[in-house]
Structure 1
Amino acid sequence: MPFTTRSCAVPEARPDVAIAGGGPVGLYLAVLLLQQGLSVRVYEQRRTRERHSRAIGIHPPALRALALAGAASAMVRDGVPIRSGLAMSRGRVVGRMDFGGVAEDFPFILALPQFRTEEILEERVLALDSGAIVRGAKVTGVADDDGAVTFTVRYTTGGTPPAVLTAGVLVAADGARSGLRDYFGPAVVRRNYPDHYLMGDFAAGDLDAERAVLFLEPDGIVESFPLPGHLRRWVVRLPAPAGNADATELGRLVRQRTGINPAPATNTMLSAFSVRSAIARDSVRGRAVLLGDAAHEISPIGGQGMNLGWLDAASLAPLMPRILAGPYPAGELRDYGRARHRAALVARRQAEINMLLGRPLPAPLLTARNAAVGAAAAVPTVNRWVARRFTMQSDTSGPA
């Protein structure tokens, strides 16, 4: 579905909630709030949707939360359920993981490209309020007078001057490079990691269409995930940033480490990234709230970031009517902030474990690590526990 852009020629009416950022987390929150009868405006600076986005994995707790927005069924229809995982090393199976026991309602990880996820959520928003999304609009400033939030919007449409607007609550869901995070104070804990990755989508080949495969190789991990459209995503750990590496180089690295040869001519997406994390200690300041990657950027390895943002939103949405109606629920918001901060720390730790598992090792240590992975996978109770942790089934993951 193409983007729709509202005219900005007339003054904006004050919404109950303004959301800075129209990615998957901001759109999801908008649906939840509109379903409660609140007025919402989503300000998104992009004029076109990014089709080469990284996020593809949707975990069971997030699918459960997405069902509250009426979006889960369409996503499951369009996505690929990953029902099992396989760990391999030097051509041999090291261990297996079955996701069938992680949840009764969604016993899988769903693979769906982020652009399609955003389309489905946007359709839900526009079905509830056709004017809720304002494109080409960036929120650049915030001031809280205790009764409302005032903010500045700068429009990318030619000739449209900046506007100073108000809302009952402002939610900053403007991503890992949030321009609004500084408003919440300097207490952001940042980490940089020695992990760099190159990834791309290729024709699927002969691998199982519902299985993820991790290749634990001496030069570093190679990950492979099924995608809709008979595609697979390949992710390769690198010793240094990818630079100008292309699909041919990615195919060569996959072939060198795994023996499988993704055809460069079938490549539909290519992206490189280095890993860092940034977690804000406080995600609530008066009538402004940080959400999703703006509150907690973590490693994409393990696919938790987008899911964590949805769970933030599912926890925040029930508080919105009380914030707007008063008196201000300071205790509930404090508890919300602490719970989501704990969830972010759990997710960051899981991502760090995932990255550690994929780092290069000399042959003796690689053999020992693979033996440990195989031994753990062979114990059913341990296997189920690891599968639950890998799919974000923890006490701090969010609403059940």
Structure 2
Amino acid sequence: MSRPVLVIGAGPVGLIMAAELARYGVPVRVIDKLRARTTQSRALAIWPRTLELLDAAGCGSAFAANGLHAKAVSIHVGNSTLARIPLGTIASSFNYLLMIPQSETERFLEDHLRIFGVLVEREIELTDFVNRDDGVSCTLLHAGGRLETLDAGWLIGCDGAHSFVRSRLRLEFEGETLPIGFVLADVHVAGLAIPPDEPAIFWHPDGAVMFFPISRERYRIIADLGSVPLHVPDLAEMQAIVDRRGPGGITLSDPVWLSDFGVNERKVRDYRKGRVFLAGDAAHIHSPAGGQGMNMGMQDAFNLAWKLALGERQEARPSLLESYSIERSGVAQQVLSDSGRMTRVVLLKSHLAQKVRNLVVKQIFSIPVIRRAIANRLSGIMIHYSDSPLNVGAAPRLRGPTPGERLILRGCSEQNDSPRFAIAAKDSAEARAMITRHSSLLMAKMCLPPDENGIWLVRPDGYVAATAKSGNWVPIDMALNGITLKASTRMMN
């Protein structure tokens, strides 16, 4: 493992990727062409599933302690509330939406990365690379013009929607650009009669205006432009939009960021080509509806890091890495579909269609089970890898998650320095023998099962790889044998 993994881009996705690899003992360098991390709020929302993964990585408490905990999301027409979705029903210990500026997210992640002795190398740009069978030869341009040639084991492009890595790989960014623009403002807001920790959406025949709390009395405001061309608004324009579309009585002041943006719905088909991977916006972009973008990218990083680490530690077959694109591409496709549908519902222009939408939303969201289902779906805890090639078995009539679904482990401690699978089952001689036989992959301590009549094999990222009835260890053994690199092969390498 002497050659480093090179991560391009020090946004939230690249920082998580580098930190997870470093936590697992994999040499890593992370570079960024910018002189300093962003000072803008940018992506604000961190959903519960991402918080669970941050917590498992050892840095969740910093986020939870410093962000704003949104307990509900609401939809309004003028002074009338159509729907309110409580988030306290989310089946997670993080049953809220964390609102925190991206500038703070990056600061916390840089601090976390520093714990492992890794610093972001700034004002360095990847200008070329050669993707070989045994590594990636990278050309780096330093500030001042110095060129460096780096022989990296792997290259990971976390370099955003305009990814150089993706372009250099000639991977098509398939999808479409929506024919509508948006404006945004981060401003001080007075007179909004909504709980200060609650994102609120106001629908109006002209379009929508959305309020996302950042801190006390400061909000991100987003509005669609209709047929007006993209342009950076001023405070007066944002005030006029809020006056017309909002509930009235709201005053905006002290803007710190005014901008515009268009919406693309695009993704690559394959997140890997040879020894080069894509993650985050480099692999997929979509509407900001639902606040999923940064979360998707960070979860890409969590998914890939443990697989790459096991391969670099010569503890898993190279084929393990093939599951990354399959799993994450499927999730991205679902999020693109969901966010696109939400965007089109918000942007309905026909007055009749708007009236029908408002009536349907008010009726549907009055049903508690519907509200809970939507909150859980937005939270990310329902994300699953049901089509993963890593899944084995599906024991019938067990109370608990099936292969590909998330399982929060209980009764066992995490091993933060190595990516280990866990067994959740009753203690037995067979269980201890399984742990001994697969000691390179399994945690030494068993976890509590959700059903004492079953066995669960849980991946390092908290998703079930295999299930079986108690006493039937064959599916568990099969799953581990399909991943592990035989000792004789490790010795040859």
CA shift for structure 1 position 213: 0.8
Tell me, yes or no, if structure 1 residue 212 matches structure 2 residue 170: no
What are the residue-to-residue correspondences of 1:135-284 with 2, within 5 Å? 135-155=122-142, 157-158=143-144, 160-205=145-190, 206=192, 207-239=194-226, 240-260=228-248, 263-284=251-272
Tell me which residue corresponds to 1:26.
Answer: 14
Letter in 2 for 1:154: L
Tell me, yes or no, if structure 1 residue 361 matches structure 2 residue 337: no
1:383 pairs with one of 350, 371, 395: 371
CA shift for structure 1 position 375: 0.9
2:25 pairs with one of 22, 33, 37: 37
Tell me, yes or no, if structure 1 residue 304 matches structure 2 residue 289: no
Gaps of 5+ in 2: 386-405, 407-460, 463-493
SS in 1 for 2:21: helix
d(CA) in 2 for partners of 1:139, 1:14: 21
In terms of Rg, which structure is larger?
Answer: 2
d(CA) in 2 for partners of 1:192, 1:64: 33
Letter in 2 for 1:288: V
SS in 1 for 2:95: coil
1:288 pairs with one of 270, 276, 283: 276
Q: Is the 8 A contact 2:18 2:28 kept in 1?
A: yes
Q: Is the 8 A contact 1:140 1:180 kept in 2?
A: no
2:311 pairs with one of 319, 323, 335: 323
Structure 1 residues 152 and 184: alpha-carbon distance in aligned structure 2, compared to 1, 3 A threshold: same
CA shift for structure 1 position 103: 2.8
d(CA) in 1 for partners of 2:311, 2:25: 14
CA shift for structure 1 position 229: 4.2
Structure 1 residues 229 and 46: alpha-carbon distance in aligned structure 2, compared to 1, 3 A threshold: farther
Q: Is the 8 A contact 2:78 2:247 kept in 1?
A: no
Tell me which residue corresponds to 1:3.
Answer: none
Tell me which residue corresponds to 1:70.
Answer: 58
Letter in 1 for 2:141: R
Greater Cα offset, 243-252 or 40-49: 243-252
Greater Cα offset, 324-333 or 17-26: 324-333
Letter in 1 for 2:240: R
d(CA) in 2 for partners of 1:24, 1:139: 18
For normalisation by structure 1, the TM-score amounts to 0.91
Letter in 2 for 1:217: H
d(CA) in 1 for partners of 2:232, 2:307: 46
Structure 1 residues 373 and 43: alpha-carbon distance in aligned structure 2, compared to 1, 3 A threshold: same
Tell me, yes or no, if structure 1 residue 94 matches structure 2 residue 79: no
CA shift for structure 1 position 309: 0.8
Q: Count how many residue pairs are aligned between Structure 1 and Structure 2.
A: 385
SS in 1 for 2:57: coil
> After superposition, what is the alpha-carbon deviation per residue over 1:27-83, rounded to whole angstroms, capped at 9, x for unaligned?
011111111112211011110222224200001111111113322211111110111
d(CA) in 2 for partners of 1:31, 1:162: 26
SS in 2 for 1:393: coil
d(CA) in 2 for partners of 1:312, 1:78: 24
d(CA) in 2 for partners of 1:269, 1:309: 24
Structure 1 residues 37 and 285: alpha-carbon distance in aligned structure 2, compared to 1, 3 A threshold: same
Tell me how large the CA RMSD over aligned residues is: 2.0
CA shift for structure 1 position 163: 1.1
Greater Cα offset, 259-268 or 137-146: 259-268
CA shift for structure 1 position 235: 0.8
CA shift for structure 1 position 331: 2.9
CA shift for structure 1 position 105: 1.0
d(CA) in 2 for partners of 1:125, 1:15: 19
Tell me which residue corresponds to 1:9.
Answer: none
Q: Is the 8 A contact 1:28 1:69 kept in 2?
A: no
> After superposition, what is the alpha-carbon deviation per residue over 1:206-248, rounded to whole angstroms, capped at 9, x for unaligned?
4311211111111111111111243111111111333142122
For normalisation by structure 2, the TM-score amounts to 0.74
d(CA) in 2 for partners of 1:226, 1:53: 11
Gaps of 5+ in 1: 1-12
